[in-house]
Amino acid sequence: MMKKKFINIRKSISNYILHRNLGSILFFILCSLSIYIFLFSTVHKNQIDKFPQKVYPGDKLVIMQWIEQGYFNLCGLRFYESIENNPKQYVKGNYGMAYLVPAFIIQKIFFYFNGTYNASLTCYYNQVIIMISAMMIGFLAYKLAIILGLSNFYGFLLGISSLSVFQTFPWNLYQYWRLYPTAVYCMFVIAFLILFLKELGCGNLPKWFFYLKAIILFLIFILMSLAVSF
C-alpha cells in the first residue's frame, strides 16, 4: 500500500515537472542551485582566504563611496575616491553601474550591522547572477527542444547540459572575483527570449505579459546604461 502511494506521488511530481512551466522552472532552479552549492564546496571554497589579492578592489571602492556619501548623492556614478578629496575625477567611458546596485544593497545592510565591508558577500552575489542566467539558459534550451519536436526527456537533457556548461564555464567561474555587466545583460536578454518563445506559442496573452516584456527591454537598453563611470 505504501509502495503504491509512493509510486503515485512520484508520478504526480514527474507529470507536474514535465507538463507545467512552473514545475520545469523549479527543476532548473534546483539544478543550478545544486551546481552553485557544489562550486562553493570545491572550486570556490576558501578562495578569498587563500588568494585575497585576487579580489577586485574597484567594486569595494565604489560601493564604499556609495555607502559613505550616499548612492543618490553620487547619482550612482563610479567614484573611486571622495569628491571632496579628489574633485577632478574624470569620465573614462560609458560603463553602466546598475549591475552593482544589488551588491551595494547587500553590503549596506551588512555595513549597518557590522560597520565593515565583506568581500565574500560580493563574491556570493557575483555567482548568484551566473546561477540565475544558467537556470534561464537551461529552461530556454528545454523550451526550444520541445518546439523542435524532441521529447521531454531529451529536452531536459539538453537543458541540464546547457545549464551545466554555462555555469561551470571558466570565464563564469572567474567572475567569482569580479562580475562584469555583460553577465547581467545576458540574464535579461535570455528572459526576453523566453517570453518571445512564449508569445510564438500562444495566441492570446494577457496585457501584463506585454508589460513585462516592455520592462525587460527597458532594463536591457536603458537602465543598464544610465550611469557613467568615473
**pLDDT of 154-183, one tens digit each?**
889 999 999 999 999 999 999 999 888 888
**What's the structural domain count of the chain?**
1
pTM (2 d.p.): 0.82
CB atoms within 10 A of CB 119: 16
CA-closest candidate to residue 143, choices 191, 104, 212: 191
pLDDT of residue 203: 65
14 within domain boundaries: no
18 within domain boundaries: no
16 within domain boundaries: no
Q: 46 is in which domain, residue-wise?
A: 24-225
Among left, alpha and beta (phi > 0; psi -120 to 50; other), residue 171 is: alpha
17 within domain boundaries: no
5 within domain boundaries: no
75 within domain boundaries: yes
9 confidence band (pLDDT: 50, 70, 90): very low
11 within domain boundaries: no
User: For residue 141, which amino acid is it?
Assistant: A
CA-closest candidate to residue 36, choices 160, 104, 118, 124: 124
Q: Provide CB contacts within 8 A for 54, sequence distance 6+.
A: 47, 177
195 within domain boundaries: yes
Report the chain's mean pLDDT, rounded to a whole number: 81
Cell numbers for 124: 556570493
